[in-house]
Structures are given as C-alpha cells and as structure tokens.
Chain A
Amino acid sequence: MPTSYAETYFPVLLQAVIAMAVAAGMLGASYLLGKRVRNRVKDMPYECGIEPTGSARERFSVKFYLVGMLFILFDIEAIFLYPWAVVYRELKMFAFLEMLVFIVLILSGFFYIWKKGALDWGETGERRFRKP
C-alpha cells in the first residue's frame, strides 16, 4: 500500500506520460505513413468552397468573457464546498448553518446577475414580443 504523497501520485504521472507518448506516437506514425501532395487550394482554410474572406482572428462577443468570469466565480464556490461536503456529518449543525448562509449569499449574487441579464443569450421573453 503506498503511503507517501509522492508514491500515491506517481502512477497518475506515469499514466499521463504514457498517454502523451501514445498520442504523440500515433500522430508521428500517421505523419510517416501518409502521403503528401500539397497545393495552394488544399492548404486554404475551409470556407464552404469559396475564397476565405478576412482574418479569422476577429473580435468576438463580450458574452464569452462574461461567461468565463462567472464560471470562475461559481467554480470557486463549488471548490469551497468540497471540503465541507466531505466532513459536514462530523461538524454537525454548526457547519450546516454556516454553509447555508454561504449558499444563500451566493444565491443572492446569482439572482442578481440573472436579473441584470448576464445569463441571457439572444432576445428573450418580453423583449422579443415587444418588437414590431
């Protein structure tokens, strides 16, 4: 039975290394086995058969950044809850009430961003119907 921290995790590291080697190896094998006939048209980015227009590195909607930030907030909350979830039976009522306060605070923040429309993608509800 492994005892130390390093001993427990060594197999995980090993599997990561082997998995990476296998993935790279398979790519290498296909690189060596496949034939190569290159021309300008084949190397063009795919755009449904027409000439690509403009750069692909365009600006994209701020929505995606917003989702990224919200994800970090809520994922950190979930991470805070993990240790509590493991031991809350031993800590009894005290920890339960404390966490209840924490969850209520997070939920109020959640409903705030909901009401602010941070979670809306596209036109929803009333706004869609009000349009002429």
Chain B
Amino acid sequence: MQTVLQHPLFTPILVTLVIVAVFPLLAGYIVLVERKVLADFQVRLGPMRVGPHGLLQPIADALKLLLKEDIIPADADRSIFWLAPVISTFTALTAFSVIPFSKTIYVADVNVGILVISAMSAVGILGIILGGWASNSHYPLLGALRSAAQLVSYEVALAFALLSGLMVAGTLSLQGIVQAQMQRGIWFVFSNYGFMIVPFVVYMIAATAETNRAPFDLPEAESELVAGFHTEYSGFRWALYFLAEYANIFVVASVAVTLFWGGWLRPFPSVKWLALLDYLVPLLVFAGSGAASLVLVKRLKDPLQQKVLVGAALLLVVAGLVYVIPAVNAAAIGPFWFLFKVSLVIYLMIWFRGTFPRFRYDQLMDIGWKWMIPIGMGAIVVNAALGMLPPR
C-alpha cells in the first residue's frame, strides 16, 4: 500500500480521475448557478421544480440527454459528425492537466504549462469547425465559420494579454507562476504599480470571446443562426459540446486566477497574521451559506424537499466546520482559495451575460482587431519598460 501511495504517478492519476469524474457534474451545477443568477438579475425564480430550489435539475438534465434519440442527419459526414464533439471535449478536459489546484494537487507541472493550455484551446477550434462542416447544413456552416474567425481573432489578443503576465512572472509553468507570486508576496494583477490591471481586462474580454460567451456569442446567435455550429447536434453529442464549453470557461477562469489573482494563495500571502483568513473565510462561506439556507427551509411546502434542503444545508455547515481543524485546513486551503477565486471569475462572466447586449459581427471583429490587439501590444511595451526600472 505504502509503495502505491508513494509512486510518483499516484497523485496525477488520482487528480485526473477526480477531474474527469467530477467535472461533468460540476458543469451541470455551473449551469444551474448560471440559470439561477440570470433569473435573479431578471427578477424571476429560475428552475424550482426538480428538488428544492432546482438543486437536482442538473442530474435530471443529464439523464434526459443520455436517454435521447441519437440522430445523425442523412446528409452528414457520419464519422466526422461523431468525432467533432469528442475533439472539443477531450481538448477542454486535457487543458485541466496543467492547472495547479494547490501546492501539491495537480496532474502535471510542465515547464510550458501556458503553452499547453493555448495549444489545447487552439485544437479545440477544430472540433467546432469540423462539427459545423460535417453537419452539411446551412446554419451550422455559417456558425462554424463565424466561430472560427472569432476564436482565432481573440486568440491573438489572449496571447498578448498572457504575455504581459508572463513577463512579470518570468516562467511559463503555472505552478512556477504561483510560486513567484508567493515569493514576491504580491498577486500579479497589482504588480508593476498596478498597471497589470490593463492586461487583465484585455484577458477577460478575450477570454469571454474565446469561450463564445455573451456578449460575444455570435456563433450561437439564436435570432439569426438558430444554434450556430451545433444546430444539427442533439442528445448527448450536444451535451458534449456543452460540457466542452463549460470546461473551457473553467480553464480560462483558472488561468486568469493563476496568472493574475495568485492561484491557490490567500490574500496578502506575505502578511503572517492574516493567516487567520485561512480559517475565517471558508467558515463564513460554507457555514454561512448553510445557515442561510436553513432559514429558507420553512418556505418550502413539500416535506421531502424540506428534508433534502436540510441535508444540503447541514453538509455545508459541516464542510465549514471541518475547515477549522488545522490539519484539514493545511491540506485543503489551497483548493479552497483556488476554487473560490475561480467561482468569482465565473460569476463575473455570468454577470457579463446578464448585462451586455450581443454585439454585431463587424463590431465584434473591430473590438478584437482594432482595440484588444493594439492595447495588448501597448501593454507589453509598457510592462517591459516598467520591468526595466530598478527594483523598489
């Protein structure tokens, strides 16, 4: 047993299996959160039927999609039609392999981690183009073309924004980037006299476009293209595209957190007495939200739903209390901070969707080429000049 635990591949395999097993469920719950948050923005309730406050909705959705009929249009290229969603999903999930969840929890710490993620997102475009082409139908083809042009345009802006971050970090390894932030005691978004906020904003805009999210969801503009490249996809094939989209959202949010917001570090990582935050914040987040949902129990009519909600709330309270145990805290605080920050970034992207109207296609390309790329290049030059200044 001991030899198994100490094998160098033990942690990578465990983390891989956890990612591949948990992420599809997590994606379902991100969708639920998104629907709930959007509903809240629009003063409605969102999903409420399946489970208390719609808590079991993702599971019901997954089962429904699994049991759907498997339709391939008569004119489609059958093999490519099969392959395309698999390419999208596998590239999105493979990008997870270089993300550092904490000091010890990661699949691989390769010295060109950022490039692995860029490469995976570039190959992921293939899944979209092939899917649109293989459908052999008008709307998917138009959607795929738009999507490809949009993705490659914003890929350049994304690369420039990342470059600014990398110049401060001085390494391409994602684990190394977090270590550098720990050594210098500053999250990179605040370094270079606060100028790094510019590349961060460019990154967020480009990342929103890269993941086909509103207000840049032109490839899926339902008012003109039905559903864009996946119009002909239904059932679980469509679910795979969906999974890939949410996996990509998670990956870009993780890169933003790792490169700009300190990865798995707590706020002010160099100030010793703030280590107190390691205990306080998880307790407040978990136990607080658990206690808040206990208040809501009385409002539910159905006794079964009441029981489910009490169970979920107690689970949250217990999770909060477990974080107070020092040994558990030391092991689990890295993933907590990482996932906490990633959730905030994902919330920001949902907020974008609830706030901004969709752009027209020429406006989208203008923002990409005439604003983001020049600003990104300018940011590199300014960052380089600031880096040449003598250290403070």
Contact = CB atoms under 8 A, between A and B. Distances in A.
A16 B94 contact: yes
Interface string A111-122: 000100001111
Contact of A78 (B24, B141, B163): B163
A30 B235 contact: yes
Contacts of A56: 75, 135-138, 140-141
B231 A46 contact: yes
Contact of B361 (A12, A24, A29, A121): A121
Nearest to B152: A71
Given A30-B236, A56-B136, A89 B387 contact: yes
B377 A103 contact: yes
Interface in A5-46: 7-12, 14-16, 18-20, 22-24, 26-27, 29-31, 33-37, 40, 42-46
Nearest to B122: A75
B71 A20 contact: no
A52 to B, nearest CB: 7
B362 A11 contact: no
B137 A15 contact: no
Contacts of A85: 163, 166-167, 380
B373 A45 contact: no
B388 A96 contact: yes
Contacts of A110: 373-374, 377
A11 B108 contact: yes
Contacts, number: 221
B74 interface: yes
A100 B383 CA distance: 12
Contact of B155 (A8, A11, A71, A92): A71
A119 B365 contact: yes
B86 A23 contact: yes
B20 A74 contact: no
Interface in B224-239: 226, 231-232, 235-237, 239
Contacts of B239: 26, 30
Interface stretch (B10-18, B52-60, B187-195, B278-286): B10-18
Given A47-B137, A64-B145, A14 B13 contact: yes
A14 B12 contact: yes
A17 to B, nearest CB: 9
Interface string B124-158: 00000000000111111100010011001101100
A93 to B, nearest CB: 7
B167 A88 contact: yes
11 contacts: A8-B109, A10-B108, A15-B96, A19-B20, A26-B24, A45-B73, A46-B226, A67-B149, A70-B369, A103-B380, A121-B361
A57 B136 CA distance: 7
Given A8-B109, A11-B9, A23 B89 contact: yes
A132 B150 CA distance: 32
Contacts of A74: 156, 373
A89 B226 CA distance: 50
A89 to B, nearest CB: 6
Contacts of B140: 56
Contacts of A79: 159
Nearest to B8: A2
B136 A86 contact: no
Nearest to A38: B71
Nearest to B368: A119
Contacts of A67: 149, 152-153, 365
The list of the 8 closest CB pairs from A to B, nearest first, reads A30-B236, A45-B137, A19-B93, A11-B12, A121-B362, A78-B159, A71-B152, A122-B362
Given A10-B9, A15-B94, A75 B138 contact: no
A2 B9 CA distance: 9
A96 B167 CA distance: 12
Contact of B90 (A11, A16, A34, A120): A16
